[in-house]
Structure 1
């Protein structure tokens, strides 16, 4: 009989899946669902962001998203039981999606020893936590220790987002009608963030133009950089690679040695944030 591997890593399609994670034999990704009026897709499986943006442009309809079902998670954990001792799952903030809850209920149904971690965020912040967990596993930490550390680590994340579409964000129920009206009437470019103490979206600042908003985000990064050790900054975008590259150059002009990764937001995030979204994410480690 083959010996079981120690830890499986579970996440969802709101995470930024690097090539390393995509090719890793112990990483399992459950996709969220994206529903248009006439058809349903699985994020990253049968729907790319290109197809998504095209459909939204043509149909002028914002699709809905839903978490993977408890049954899907139970099925996955049941399968993992045969090959692994434990699992560590890291998911999108429980305040933004029911995915975390589905994962918890799924592992309980499968009666599998898994620790489910609320990232209090999404996108590359999840990736950072999984990478940290894997390093800890390599160093010999057990799955409970890893999960406890990742829960602590989640609050060290800092993120700022310039939405590509105020309208989509509003239609997805992520902002009040008043905020939407003010933003669209006054042509304000709001900087939003996910507050990692609550895991919820909040309006961080109203800025008059995209140029000023980008400048402000770099300022916020510099403030954090002075107080913390920041090993990497992730610039995430919604079909806006040229602007992501411009932002990278601007950041490097201020902080020359910083490691900067550019990546694209997943389809699920793009449904709410919209094409043209630009975000910066980093992890603060106290000096």
Structure 2
């Protein structure tokens, strides 16, 4: 077996694997004021948030075309690979990973495995890292997929959003939750449920929202039967992210706490200043 790993640009990847020869990345486009930006190619997160703040039109995102995905798979097959695990952002956010099933048998002699991470950003990047490391460690396909399932089944994320408008207008959160949040002047904590972004709890202040998310992360830590790691992910809000990283590290000193950022595509939906706290099995 010669195995390749494919992912998309919403994954926050550790630097050490970004140029791994068996890893291939599909860019996902963000559209701002009629201009298409391919994440990680045409624009990086810092620059994008500046444009987002001053955009005249509501920003949108798009899926890569299936034809582009097929071209990538064919180019990978031409390099001698016979197996591809394609790890992508949650089907609850984008239909892309489900669409990949329509081409999973399109290349003779190549086994294509579309894998729904049911999450995005850092936890998804961790799945990619584990898959790439599995290749280097000469693990079997079954062993790698089992490890991915363990991570996916033991990943929990909580989002504290500065402004719900982007999520609502983009169709990633129910209007009802946003309306209630606006009326009561609350700070909602959102989470992923079966890969979809849903309201977790309504909290009265930003400080209490962060405290609640930190507390729930700890509850998951006690429940997960594997070593875990924690993540703080920000949308152009590094100062708050560093503060949260410090609080989590003090609260859970035996667990590594990594920090990263939401790229343009996820940032488009969450809006600037959003913070995500997450936990996953290692």
Residue 12 of structure 2 aligns to a residue whose secondary structure is: coil
Aligned equivalents of 2:142, 2:66: Cα separation in 1: 22
Residue aligning to 2:75: 79
> What's the CA shift for 1:35?
1.5
Residue aligning to 1:178: 176
> What's the CA shift for 1:43?
1.2
Residue aligning to 2:138: 140
- With normalisation by structure 1, the TM-score equals 0.90
Decide which moves more: 232-241 or 45-54. 45-54
Structure 1 residue runs without a partner (length 5+)? none
Aligned equivalents of 2:263, 2:184: Cα separation in 1: 29
Residue aligning to 1:68: 64
Aligned equivalents of 2:99, 2:40: Cα separation in 1: 19
Change (3 A) 1:60 1:108: same
Q: Is 2:44 the partner of 1:48?
A: yes
Aligned equivalents of 1:117, 1:137: Cα separation in 2: 16
Residue 59 of structure 1 aligns to a residue whose secondary structure is: coil
User: How many pairs does the alignment contain?
Assistant: 279
> What's the CA shift for 1:284?
4.0
Residue aligning to 2:27: 31
Residues 202-248 of structure 1: per-residue CA shift (max 9 Å, x gap): 11111111100111111112222233344311110001111111111
Q: Is the 8 A contact 2:31 2:37 kept in 1?
A: yes
Residue 205 of structure 1 aligns to a residue whose secondary structure is: strand
> What's the CA shift for 1:276?
0.4
Aligned equivalents of 1:224, 1:126: Cα separation in 2: 18
Residue aligning to 1:270: 267
- With normalisation by structure 2, the TM-score equals 0.91
> What's the CA shift for 1:145?
4.5
> What's the CA shift for 1:107?
3.9
Aligned equivalents of 1:134, 1:224: Cα separation in 2: 26
Residues 13-47 of structure 1: per-residue CA shift (max 9 Å, x gap): 11112212312121111011112342211111102
> What's the CA shift for 1:149?
4.2
Structure 2 residue runs without a partner (length 5+)? none
